Every structure is written in structure tokens, then in C-alpha cells.
């Protein structure tokens, strides 16, 4: 049978007339394209490879000697390329393990190894100096022994399922598998339910042999490979736990550690499936529901017991210096408008994929921009390249910098463009919907290395093939709203700066995440063997940066934003309706004893609680605000299409000033309920999802938590916020003149 294998050699896209660029006059667009052609010529895959080898040869977590060396190495590079460079230091709380003991003490004994063995063909896996062992940063110290309970992914609905089986985790140690939420949710929810300890393991179904051959035969997580990671309560506030809202400078006022609300309340430890298997095999109790079963060759049971576990953890709770590298080129025309482009440089161990694959693409981008600067070019606006430290423990480097410079950033920042891990595959973009059309233009203008079509066309093909939502009402490829998980969070959600997260992936086989095996060898075999996608990222993020820096008027398009917000409005109203129906159904079933009659009387069973009925909420303020927003955005687009950009520079500047501040109008000083650090009213990480986004979070989470009075308050707040955005668009429309 003939296999239609798509060639690896990129064939160039057919020539076409250049379409206009959002925010550019026709003349400016011609100049911009010429600049981008020169920029592309400055990019090389070889540099990426060389830098990755150098930066990943030793462990480089925050506080490590090689982490500092990497910062200085990058600072030197930036200086060479003509940037003004500063290494900005913050002193952050960063615990490292002193004691890690995990034992099964009954009904049999097993002592967990808690170590990732060296493997052939992976040079750095043999190193031990400075290697952080497997742990969860910001776990509590503790020495606990208790019966074990399996809690699936350990998210709130899993505890509902346990309760239906009559299982309570109070005084117990829970074991959760990775997946289903950001890891920090698991110990947080476990502690809320009274558990005294938490173990998180990598099940081979989600992250191991079920997906492919384990490393080093294939890429996937081996028997004793484990996932490090932070469990700080990032959805409460990210950054240094001791300095919420302010930069962790040498003189900053710090909370006493026991007042730091983002610290986990119980000891928590990540382990490999090789260590988890004896624990899970020792569990009794009800058989886990089908969706809870992993790929280990055993009957997954819920417990509690007879497995009893002893968990002892102690940490060095030290202030550690984090080194952010900040490289700046001052804008020639608009030096007070800043375009910020960042990637973190710290890793859990060697971090070839996470974060060096993205970091070296940023460096290469900055080098190619520097080459233009060496030829006498300067950007219209100021460009700032940032290499963040201490992202892994909880976005510390970026957050402390954003907090330390909050006032300047609120005044000057045009946008923040983030990248992180990168690999072979499809362009993925998340971010502010105001930038959606702009990003679509960039993706249209970057060629996919493997297929020769544009990155946009390939990304769209993937969504079409998968049958997932492809585009919003505007016809543009939809970009995903951002929750958390990388350094955009302080810029977007604390400061209201339009932000993007850009990267390629989906054809890079995984399995190395946060393990000692995230090495150069692994990346060069499975991540992006030719580094072509590193170059593609530099081309993509470089265009984003350069177009934002050069645009005549900031390239925001509010009608894309309005389309998404209207959808989020529909979602939250549908959510309330669905909860009302589900509540009525449940209460009717309880009234008819249906749960009792449907249950197996020989097994423990607890019916769900009856619930107060879901009231009808007054969504009218939100409906009205969205309608106004849609009208104002459409009117602005129509006027722009009819008249083009303002001819006189004073009007242009005035329009620019309105657009510069429009995302700031989406924030509220008071922040979200119970987490004032998060100020954006449209995007937030979910309080119980962690990385996963909640849009219109004040309203959505109030509904999810059945806080009906709060939901109505939040509807009013979000409505007022969106009215403010609509007002700004009306002002912008007026600046374009005409009727």
C-alpha cells in the first residue's frame, strides 16, 4: 500500500500579494516586511543547538551555580548584541529537601526509592552534583503515618465520588495520580478535606508505558522517573510566598513564613509508578470506578487501608537569590511604550525542553534583532527581552519583577509575549483575545518547517481534522484564553497587560517533564531534532515583538475580544441553567429514594446531599454590557476599515493611548473574591484547576461554588468592567472621525 508520507523538506508557499497588516499604514507595512525578511536571515538552528548544549550541561534551578552562570552567560550575549542589560536579583523563599522518607508500613513493608536512575545514552542522567531530588516545592514539613486512600486525580469531584462510597480522608494519607488538574490543586484539596499527607504519582496510563516505550528506548517516563514541581497555591497568588504584591527586593517587608497563605498545609511528595505500585497494590476497599483506573497491572481500589503509609519530609526553608536577565533597547520614537518578551531560564534539573528550548529561541530572536541594531536600525517602541529565573517554583522571577515595576509597567507596557517549552509540531497560541487577529496575521506569515504551508494553515488543519472549534465568529483561528502555568500570569492577570503565550508542539514525544531525563539527548531525539521549530518560534515571536514595536497604532482588534466574551457570557448563563436542572433532578431522585433503590445493598453507599434550588440570576447587566461592547467594537472596526489609520500624528497618538490602556480597563483594583492579587475580570487560573483557565472568573466560580449572592455581585462588577472597555472603544471610534 502506498503511504502518503508528507515530505520533510519544506516547500515555500506560493507567492501572493501582501495583505495589509493590522496597525500599519500601507507604507509602514512595506517597511515592516522588509525588516522581517532581514530578521529571518539572521536566524540559525545551529546557534540554538549550541546554546542548549551549554545551558543544559549542569543542573540550573534557581539558586544553583549553573543557573547563575547561565544568567551571566545570557547577559553577556545580550550586551554583545547591543542591548542595555541588567541582572535584577530578588531574594525568594525556595525550600529544598533535607529529609524524604516514604514507607509502606502495613500490611507489608516497602521503602520508596525516590531516585531516578542513570540511563545509557543520556550523559547528564549520571550527574549527581547539584541535582535537586524529586520533590514538590513548598510542601509542608511533616512526619505523618496513616491509612492510604486513592483519590484519582485528587480534584474536588473525586472527593464527591469517594463520599458516595462512604469514604472520608480525614486523618488519612491520600495518593493521587498526576493529571486532571495542576499538581498544586491535589494537596490543597486533600488538606481541605482533612488529609494529613499527599502522595502524587505518575501513572503509566497518563505518563508512561501506555503511551510508548519508556526512556531511553523511547521517550516516555520510565519506571522510576518522577515529576518534580511546585505545589505553592498559585491560583491564590504566584511569586514569592513571603512578598505577595510587592517585589522581593533585599529590603522588602516579608511575611513570617507561617502567615504565607500560598504555602501548602500538609506534606506532599511526588513519586514514580515504580514506587507507587506496592502502595496501590496494598489497598483494599471498593474497586475504583472505571475512569479512575490507570495502567498498572492491579485492581485499583479506593481504600482506606489496609495499606498504611509513613511520610516524613523536612526542607531547608531558605531565601535564595533569583537572577532575572533584563535586556532593553530604547525605542526611537515611542520610548515610553514597552514591548516585553520573556522566557524563563531556570529548570528543575537540566531542563532542555523546559525551559531551554524556548529560551534559546528567544536568544536567537534577540540576536537577529541585535543584528538589525548593529546595522543602525532602532525600534519605534522600546523592546525588553527578559530571561526569568525561578519560574519553576511558582513564577517567582517574573512575578517579583512585575510587582517591583508595577507602576512603570501599568504606564508603559504595550504587551507581554511569553514562550516556554517548545518542540516539533503545531503552532499554539494563548492570550488576550484583543490580540487574536494580530496573531493570526503573524501565523499566516510564518512557514511551517515540515509542510511548507503557513503555521496558521497547519494549526487550522489540525483543529479541523480533530473536529475541534477552529475559529471564532471573526473567521480567525481562535486563540485560547490563558489560565496559568508560565510567566505571563503577573503581566496579564495582575497588571492587565495584553499577553500572549507562543510555542510549537504536539509532535514532540513527551515523558521527560520535570524529570532528570529532560536532557539535551532526550530533546535532540524526541523534541525538535533539527531545531527547525526553535527557529520557527523565533520567527513567530520575533514577528510578534517587532510588529508590536513598529506598529503605527497598536494592533488590537476589539471585535475578536467581543466575540469571545459573548461566548463566555453564554457559557456562564448555560452553567447556571444546567446546575438548576441538575439540582432539580437530584432533589427529585432523592425524594423518590432513587439512589437508595439503585444502589447495591451489599455495598457501602451514601446518597448525594440534597441541595437548595438554584435561583434565577439577574444576568441582564452582563447581557447589556456585552451588547454595548459588541456595538462599540464593531463601530470602531467599521470606522477603521472605512477611514484607515489617522493621518495626523496627534490623533494617532491619542488613539494609541486609548488602545494602550484598554486591557488595563479589564482589571479591578480589588481583584477577585478571596484572591485580590488576581485583578483581571476576564481571565484567571481556576481556583480548583490551577493552570486551567476560568473566563469571567468572578461570575463563573461563584456559580460553581453555589454562592448566588456573590454571583449577582460579580455579574454587576464584570458588567461595569466591560462597560468601561466599551466606553474606551467608543472614544477610540470618535477619534477616527466621521459620523
Closest CA to 93 of 267, 313, 269, 259: 259
> Using the rule CB under 8 A, is 462 a contact of a second copy?
yes
Question: Rounded to whole angstroms, how far apart are CA atoms 450 and 441?
Answer: 20
> Using the rule CB under 8 A, is 166 a contact of a second copy?
yes
> Using the rule CB under 8 A, is 291 a contact of a second copy?
no
> Using the rule CB under 8 A, is 589 a contact of a second copy?
yes
E strand residue ranges, 210-267? 229-230
Closest CA to 330 of 375, 371, 388, 373: 373
Q: How far is the CB of 444 from a second copy (least distance, A)?
A: 14
> Using the rule CB under 8 A, is 578 a contact of a second copy?
no
Question: Three-state SS for 80?
Answer: helix
178, 300, 323, 683: which one contacts a second copy (CB under 8 A)? 300
> Using the rule CB under 8 A, is 292 a contact of a second copy?
no
600, 648, 669, 739: which one contacts a second copy (CB under 8 A)? 600
Closest CA to 490 of 250, 348, 687, 683: 683
Using the contact rule CB under 8 A, the part of the chain among 384-392, 456-464, 694-702, 710-718 near a second copy is: 456-464
Q: Give the up-direction half-sphere exposure of residue 545: CA atoms within 13 A in the CB hemisphere.
A: 29
Residue 395 vs residues 88, 387, 485: alpha-carbon distances, Å: 15, 12, 8
> Using the rule CB under 8 A, is 458 a contact of a second copy?
yes
Question: Three-state SS for 315?
Answer: strand
Record the cell numbers describing residue 71, joined without a space: 544568567
Residue closer to a second copy, measured from CB, 12 or 738: 12
Q: How far is the CB of 214 from a second copy (least distance, A)?
A: 8
Using the contact rule CB under 8 A, the part of the chain among 210-218, 363-371, 382-390, 619-627 near a second copy is: 210-218
For CA atoms 522, 526, 527, 531, the dihedral sign is positive
Q: How far is the CB of 108 from a second copy (least distance, A)?
A: 16
Q: How far is the CB of 224 from a second copy (least distance, A)?
A: 15
> Using the rule CB under 8 A, is 164 a contact of a second copy?
no
> Using the rule CB under 8 A, is 211 a contact of a second copy?
yes
CA dihedral 199, 204, 205, 207 (to 10 degrees): 80
For residues 313 and 112, the answer to whether their CB atoms sit within 8 Å is no
Q: Which helix (H) or strand (E) holds 571?
A: helix 558-591
The footprint of a second copy on residues 651-680 (CB under 8 A) is none
> Using the rule CB under 8 A, is 593 a contact of a second copy?
yes
> Using the rule CB under 8 A, is 299 a contact of a second copy?
yes
> Using the rule CB under 8 A, is 5 a contact of a second copy?
yes
For residues 282 and 148, the answer to whether their CB atoms sit within 8 Å is yes
Radius of gyration of the chain (CA): 26
58, 296, 492, 562: which one contacts a second copy (CB under 8 A)? 296
> Using the rule CB under 8 A, is 27 a contact of a second copy?
no
> Using the rule CB under 8 A, is 423 a contact of a second copy?
no
Residue closer to a second copy, measured from CB, 265 or 462: 462
> Using the rule CB under 8 A, is 705 a contact of a second copy?
no
> Using the rule CB under 8 A, is 598 a contact of a second copy?
yes
Residue closer to a second copy, measured from CB, 133 or 305: 305
For residues 119 and 222, the answer to whether their CB atoms sit within 8 Å is yes
> Using the rule CB under 8 A, is 611 a contact of a second copy?
no
> Using the rule CB under 8 A, is 297 a contact of a second copy?
yes
Residue 36 vs residues 286, 317, 542: alpha-carbon distances, Å: 62, 47, 8
Closest CA to 249 of 36, 400, 80: 400
For residues 267 and 141, the answer to whether their CB atoms sit within 8 Å is yes
Residue closer to a second copy, measured from CB, 83 or 215: 215
Note the residue count of the chain. Answer: 739
Q: Which residues, 6 or more positions from 76, have their beta carbon under 8 angstroms from its beta carbon? A: none
> Using the rule CB under 8 A, is 727 a contact of a second copy?
no
Q: How far is the CB of 578 from a second copy (least distance, A)?
A: 13
Per CB under 8 A, residues contacting a second copy are 1, 3-8, 166, 168, 204-205, 209-213, 218, 287, 290, 293, 295-300, 425, 450-451, 453, 457-458, 461-462, 464-466, 507, 589, 592-602, 604-607
Amino acid at each position: 500500500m502506498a503511504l502518503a508520507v508528507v515530505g520533510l523538506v519544506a516547500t515555500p508557499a506560493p507567492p501572493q500579494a501582501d495583505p495589509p497588516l493590522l496597525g500599519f499604514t500601507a507604507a509602514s507595512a512595506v517597511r515592516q516586511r522588509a525588516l522581517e525578511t532581514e530578521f529571518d536571515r539572521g536566524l540559525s538552528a545551529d546557534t540554538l543547538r549550541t546554546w542548549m548544549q551549554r545551558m543544559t550541561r549542569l543542573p540550573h534551578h534557581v539558586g544553583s551555580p549553573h543557573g547563575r552562570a547561565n544568567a551571566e552567560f545570557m547577559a553577556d550575549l545580550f550586551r554583545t548584541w547591543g542591548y542595555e542589560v541588567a541582572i535584577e536579583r530578588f531574594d525568594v523563599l525556595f525550600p529544598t529537601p533535607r529529609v524524604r522518607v516514604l514507607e509502606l508500613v502495613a500490611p507489608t513493608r516497602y521503602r520508596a526509592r525516590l531516585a531516578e536512575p542513570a540511563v545509557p545514552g543520556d550523559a547528564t542522567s549520571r550527574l549527581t552534583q547539584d541535582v535537586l531530588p524529586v520533590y514538590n516545592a513548598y510542601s509542608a514539613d511533616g512526619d505523618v503515618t496513616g491509612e492510604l486512600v486513592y483519590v484519582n486525580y485528587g480534584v474536588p469531584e473525586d472527593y464527591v465520588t469517594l463520599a458516595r462510597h462512604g469514604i472520608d480522608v480525614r486523618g488519612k494519607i491520600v495518593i493521587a495520580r498526576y493529571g486532571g488538574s495542576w499538581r498544586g490543586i491535589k494537596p490543597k484539596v486533600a488538606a481541605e478535606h482533612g488529609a494529613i499527607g499527599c502522595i502524587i504519582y505518575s501513572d503509566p496510563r497518563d505518563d508512561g508505558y501506555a503511551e510508548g516505550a519508556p526512556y531511553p528506548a523511547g521517550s516516555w517516563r520510565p519506571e522510576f522517573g518522577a515529576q518534580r514541581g511546585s505545589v505553592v497555591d498559585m491560583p491564590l497568588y504566584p511569586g514569592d510566598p513571603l512578598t505577595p504584591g510587592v517585589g522581593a527586593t533585599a529590603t522588602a517587608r516579608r511575611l513570617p513564613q507561617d502567615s504565607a497563605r500560598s504555602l501548602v498545609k500538609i506534606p506532599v511528595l511526588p513519586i514514580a509508578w515504580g514506587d507507587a505500585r506496592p502502595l496501590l497494590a496494598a489497598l483494599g476497599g471498593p474497586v475504583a470506578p472505571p475512569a479512575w483506573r490507570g495502567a498498572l497491572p492491579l485492581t485499583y481500589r479506593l481504600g482506606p487501608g489496609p495499606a498504611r503509609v509513613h511520610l516524613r519530609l523536612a526542607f531547608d526553608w531558605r531565601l535564595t537569590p533569583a537572577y532575572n536577565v533584563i535586556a532593553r533597547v530604547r525605542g526611537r520614537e515611542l520610548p515610553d511604550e514597552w514591548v516585553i518578551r520573556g522566557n524563563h531560564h531556570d529548570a528543575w534539573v537540566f531542563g532542555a525542553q523546559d525551559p531551554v528550548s524556548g529560551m534559546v529561541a528567544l536568544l536567537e530572536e534577540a540576536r537577529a534583532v541585535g543584528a538589525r541594531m548593529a546595522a543602525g536600525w532602532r525600534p519605534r517602541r522600546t523592546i525588553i527581552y527578559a530571561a526569568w529565573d525561578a519560574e519553576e517554583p511558582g513564577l517567582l522571577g517574573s512575578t517579583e519583577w512585575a510587582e517591583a515595576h508595577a507602576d512603570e509597567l501599568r504606564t508603559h507596557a504595550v504587551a507581554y509575549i511569553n514562550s516556554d517549552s517548545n518542540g516539533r509540531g503545531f503552532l499554539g497560541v494563548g492570550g488576550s483575545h484583543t490580540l487574536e487577529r494580530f496573531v493570526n496575521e503573524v501565523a499566516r506569515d510564518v512557514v511551517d518547517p515540515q509542510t511548507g504551508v503557513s503555521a496558521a494553515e497547519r494549526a487550522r488543519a489540525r483543529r479541523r481534522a480533530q473536529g475541534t472549534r477552529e475559529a471564532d465568529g471573526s473567521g480567525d483561528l481562535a486563540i485560547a484564553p490563558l489560565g496559568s502555568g508560565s510567566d505571563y500570569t503577573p503581566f496579564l492577570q495582575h497588571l492587565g497587560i495584553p499577553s500572549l503565550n507562543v510555542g510549537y508542539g504536539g509532535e514532540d514525544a513527551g515523558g521527560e517533564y520535570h524529570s532528570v531525563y529532560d536532557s539535551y539527548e532526550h530533546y535532540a531525539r524526541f523534541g525538535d531534532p533539527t531545531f527547525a521549530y526553535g527557529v520557527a518560534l523565533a520567527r513567530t515571536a520575533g514577528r510578534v515583538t517587532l510588529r508590536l514595536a513598529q506598529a503605527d497604532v497598536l494592533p488590537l482588534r476589539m471585535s475578536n475580544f467581543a466575540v469571545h466574551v459573548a461566548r463566555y457570557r453564554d457559557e456562564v448563563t448555560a452553567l447556571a441553567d444546567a446546575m438548576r436542572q441538575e439540582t432539580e433532578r437530584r432533589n427529585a431522585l432523592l425524594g423518590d429514594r432513587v439512589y437508595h433503590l439503585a444502589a447495591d445493598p451489599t455495598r457501602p453507599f451514601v446518597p448525594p446531599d440534597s441541595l437548595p434550588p438554584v435561583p434565577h440570576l439577574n444576568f441582564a447587566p452582563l447581557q447589556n454590557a456585552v451588547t454595548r461592547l459588541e456595538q462599540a467594537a464593531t463601530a470602531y472596526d467599521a470606522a477603521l476599515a472605512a477611514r484607515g489609520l489617522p493621518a495626523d500624528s496627534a490623533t494617532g497618538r491619542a488613539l494609541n493611548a486609548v488602545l494602550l490602556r484598554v486591557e488595563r480597563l479589564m482589571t479591578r483594583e480589588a481583584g477577585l473574591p478571596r484572591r485580590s492579587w488576581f485583578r483581571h475580570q476576564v481571565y484567571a487560573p481556576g481556583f480548583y484547576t490551577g493552570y486551567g483557565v476560568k473566563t469571567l472568573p468572578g461570575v463563573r466560580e461563584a456559580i460553581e461554588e453555589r454562592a448566588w449572592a456573590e454571583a449577582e455581585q460579580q455579574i454587576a462588577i464584570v458588567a461595569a468592567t466591560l462597560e468601561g472597555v466599551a466606553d474606551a472603544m467608543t472614544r477610540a471610534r470618535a477619534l477616527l472621525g466621521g459620523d
